[in-house]
Structure 1
């Protein structure tokens, strides 16, 4: 039977400088003429001369060139332009940017020149210490880097520790950066600011100094005891594989700041990963709600197969403030679908904004729902519009064609399905799922050669595709051709999936084609009793009929009719057996 489970980033502040020197020429005397009318006076602008500097001395030109080079990620050219610009400009920020660019391209001479210029123009002590430390770290001068970093953290600048961290995180020599961190960012030097402690601990973790990171985290927890310090200490526990310890600390963090949505989401997510769905859901029910809390609550309830909670989340979310509800239109559509409210789901999917990450998926789900609601023409029309809208996006275009084809398969409109699958294969040649789907459609209308060709091609592309092996084997067996190959293919599929009823059906049908009727009945009866698949029942009934056991066959056919009253295979089989 055929089946398928279907680095240089800089804040760019444009500093525009330039000048135009307008030189008005002296006015020449105009002779007085009385005999003839006076001529028109020259236009005033015609008497203005604009003095423009050469490019190397034009500040605006150099700044523009530098920014253009940056936009093209050409740091070397940008550095050269800013090196020239800082010598013209009186703005310390231009020199500061020149220094940063020179360090980024590993040009120590240019960097030192820019730092010196920056100092002349008025850089703060902290800025100079940061730049000199960066240069020293770049050159591997440990003691100079240590001296400048010490000057930085004792400068009194409110951003000193942030600047300190930026020097080390940008270092190419991670070992040097780690050593400087451990020797300078010690508990006795760190300020009375939990954010600085946490930043240094996180930096230590990034640099591979886990013991240091833990020491600073423990110190911050003991000294400040804020929700953030508990949360970071929990993160370190989790990083080290201590899930229980991490959860305990997160619980304390959440108690410290019960309205912190980020903490609640993190804690609830970890509880959910541990299978504690009810506890996680209870945690999220309390306190402020946003789109993320509703989404996680829905996911937890779905994992727990808790439809009552899903209903509750759906009701609360549908009545939430406009901004939350609008951001959750796709989730509302999903919930409505799960709860069997297809008309409501359609309305929610229609409200998903075009710029939403789920806009494409919402349109696909809408098409599927339209068919489920008996509105197939609208479903295919929507998919046709999507195929136009996503013409320049191959992944989405392929999916739109595939869903269109799948809907045609469900409607048993096999010719249209083949057409849609063929369009999709033009977008994604040799795609296994598309080849499989088209092969099924060809087989259903009796076009065995193209069906076999698609299945064979699929197995060339994906030799271990069990469903394709089964499909090709069944198609060959059903058409009574290449039965030895069919036997090999179905046997391989059966070995891979011994309990799959569809493969058992193929094997039983093959035995029937080989004339092994008793064996066919045994295999098909087991498959029928396992899954009550209508097509399996039809095959069993036909074999029983051929054995002369027509009463038993009729009983099976009657049961198939109860399972699937409109089964086409049954109708076709009865016409053949009872002409």
Structure 2
């Protein structure tokens, strides 16, 4: 039995904020004086030194902790305007430069120029560092459209030698409201002469230029990075990707060839090169490149994808054997892929075993369980399949997409078992999670129709056609359902005719067309359409329809031949059994 995996959940981290310490003043109660003789008068009690002391409690506007908490709560609601207001008040009563910095950045974010100016002044008076101060002033200048001031501040920032200077520089430009202005500043300041001796900064600026639409600049920086960092594979990869994106495939290949010659064991480099080769139609070269050298999950995955694309069963078998013989850690990391490879080679038992080894924290854990349910059903273990899917439905209650898939598969397995009430129930539960989902409506409509519940089936198909008026399958399904119930035949003919015009060679639609013609009394047209559908599809239900129409035409021998063919094809076909009882009561 496949192991049951528990659902995974995450915990949101609380935001941190600067807290002010509060002082609690405790007063000791006065001890009672001893009793005196009654004859002597009791002197008046001497006033206690702290009896009339008043402890001042600040109002909310002057309570630092209250303002910080209110500001953070507003940030939690993404209410930046309120957060800026509260942090502005907190800044006025705090000597913490971080509070002033937060107040300044929030004021800039909500475009409150006066509050931003006050916060920047306060922050500077509390000892702001030059780099973050220049970043904030650059943001404010960009907000005002003041390009010269923004350039001045950004130059201060990038000249500061702060370790995060160029990252912060990029953040300022990304957040700019005027992207053309940001692009101009990028080209002016992020030149090869000014960029630091850090390849990541060069790549980031090139990527930013590409994002801002300055493709020529982005390519120049990428090419210059190759000269500046000739041993770095990442700069070759990025420059090649840029060239390929701009249509220079030849240039991209030249760069990648140089890079792989220098770094033949670089996995990312080989992946990019192989992907480009495959996109160019040379899967053989891509496979050859990936077959040798270090491997990781991505190389194995791409090799499998290439083999599947080329329908290369030998390559799939070789990859499966290689992974089977890999170290335990490698096998564990690729358990889902091993399961897929085993499935492709019809090794269902092995596939189940591999899927069972996919860990709870693996991104493919859900898919592994889903495929396990499919394989269990294929092995005739439908009870185990439903049990696994039921557990998955519990595990993924808080994940609607996964929950929908589990219910849909559960319903489809019930459909294969011809347990239509259970299928309807599963589809209905899924529709409660994802209302008006086209696939679920279609599936439940089929389940209703198969159960003989025509009215709800028609409702589902009509609902689906309201959502997707051009859905060919829904048009065909509604038309056939109406024709099978021998009602609304003109509408049924129109619906199926629309589907037939869209997909004239579809056997299922030809079957529907033949069936509606039969209901309309056009027996010759019905036989012609049903015979072509039967010859094209050899589907049991189509054969039953053809046999019935032949029987109605009086061709009992021809009908019996078709019924015999259906019996060989599908001995337990329910439609055949019910039709034979009706024709031979």
The answer for the alignment partner of 1:8 in structure 2 is none
For residues 221 and 340 of structure 2, the distance between their equivalents in structure 1, rounded to whole angstroms, comes to 45
Q: Which of 232, 240, 249 pairs up with 2:238?
A: 232
Alignment of 1:70-469 (within 5 A): 70-86=75-91, 91-225=96-230, 226-318=232-324, 320=326, 325-354=331-360, 356-391=362-397, 393-428=399-434, 431-469=437-475
* 1:146-199 superposed Cα distances (whole Å, 9 cap, x missing partner): 333333333444544344333333322333333333333333333444333333
Aligned partner of 1:506 among 497, 507, 512? 512
User: CA separation in 2, counterparts of 1:202 and 1:430?
Assistant: 41
- The number of residue pairs the alignment matches comes to 557
Question: Deviation of residue 383 (structure 1)?
Answer: 3.1
SS in 1 for 2:504: coil
Corresponding residue to 1:524 among 525, 530, 540 = 530
Question: Which piece of structure 1 moves more, 110-119 or 276-285?
Answer: 110-119
Q: Quick check: 1:474 aligned with 2:480? A: yes
User: Is 1:558 matched up with 2:564?
Assistant: yes
Q: Which residue of 2 aligns with 1:3?
A: none
Check 1:63–1:321 CA distance in 2 against 1; reply closer, same or farther (3 A cut).
Answer: farther
**Residue 537 of structure 1 pairs with residue 540 of structure 2:** no
Structure 1 gaps of 5+ residues are 1-10, 36-45
Q: For structure 1, which segment, 16-25 or 224-233, has the greater mean C-alpha deviation from structure 2 after superposition? A: 16-25
Moved more, 282-291 or 547-556: 547-556
CA contact (8 A) 2:514 2:529 kept: yes
- Give the whole-Å Cα distance in 2 for the aligned partners of 1:79 and 1:481: 66
Cα distance change on mapping 1:446 and 1:117 into 2, 3 Å: closer
In 2, the alpha carbon distance for the partners of 1:224 and 1:296 equals 28
Could you tell me which runs of 5 or more consecutive residues in structure 2 were left unpaired when the two chains were aligned. 1-13, 38-49
Structure 1 residues 81 and 281: CA distance shift in structure 2, 3 A: same
Quickly say closer, same or farther: Cα 1:171–1:427, change in 2 above 3 A: closer
- TM-score normalized with structure 1 length: 0.81
After superposition, the Cα gap between the structure-2 partners of 1:322 and 1:513, relative to the gap in structure 1 and judged at 3 Å, is same
CA-based RMSD of the aligned residues comes to: 3.9
CA distance in structure 2 between the partners assigned to 1:100 and 1:440 by the alignment: 57
Q: 1:501 to 1:152 in 2, by over 3 A?
A: closer
- Once residues 581 and 429 of structure 2 are traced to their aligned partners in structure 1, the CA distance between those partners, rounded to angstroms, is 35
C-alpha contact 2:88 2:103 (8 A) present in aligned 1: yes
Deviation at 1:252, TM superposition (A): 3.4
How far the C-alpha of 1:502 sits from its partner, in A, is 1.9
Secondary structure of the structure 1 residue equivalent to 2:311: coil
Deviations, residues 430-480 of structure 1 (Å, cap 9, x unaligned)? 544444434434444544455445445544554433333333433444444
Report the CA distance between 1:371 and its aligned residue: 1.7
- 1:18 has 2:1 as partner: no
Q: Do the aligned partners of 1:20 and 1:52 also contact (CA within 8 Å) in 2? A: no
Displacement of 1:561 in angstroms is: 3.2
Q: Is the Cα contact below 8 Å between 1:228 and 1:253 reproduced in 2? A: no
CA drift at 1:238? 3.2
1:482 Cα deviation after fit:
4.3
User: 1:40 maps to what in 2?
Assistant: none
Alpha-carbon distance change, 244 to 560 in structure 1, aligned in 2, over 3 angstroms: farther
Deviation for aligned residue 1:313 = 3.3
TM-score by length of 2: 0.80
Judged with a 3 Å threshold, the aligned counterparts in structure 2 of structure 1 residues 75 and 445 are, in CA distance, closer, same or farther, namely: closer
CA offsets per residue over residues 194-244 of structure 1, 9 Å max, x none? 333333333322333333223322322333333232222223223323344
- CA shift in 2, pair 1:86/1:228, >3 Å: same
Query: Partners in 2 of 1:539 and 1:21 — Cα distance?
Result: 89
Q: Give a deviation string over 1:297-320, Cα, whole Å, max 9, x none.
A: 222222222233333333444555
| Distance change (3 Å), C-alpha of 1:61 and 1:433 | closer
C-alpha distance in structure 1 between counterparts of 2:488 and 2:153, whole Å: 82
1:124-150 deviation digits (Å, cap 9, x = unpaired): 443443333333333333333333333
Provide the C-alpha distance between the structure 2 equivalents of 1:395 and 1:250, rounded to a whole number of angstroms. 39
Please tell me whether the aligned partners of residues 418 and 441 of structure 1 are also in contact (alpha carbons under 8 angstroms).
Answer: yes
Deviation of residue 499 (structure 1)? 0.8
Retained in 2: the 8 A contact 1:291–1:325? Answer: no
Aligned to 1:495: 501
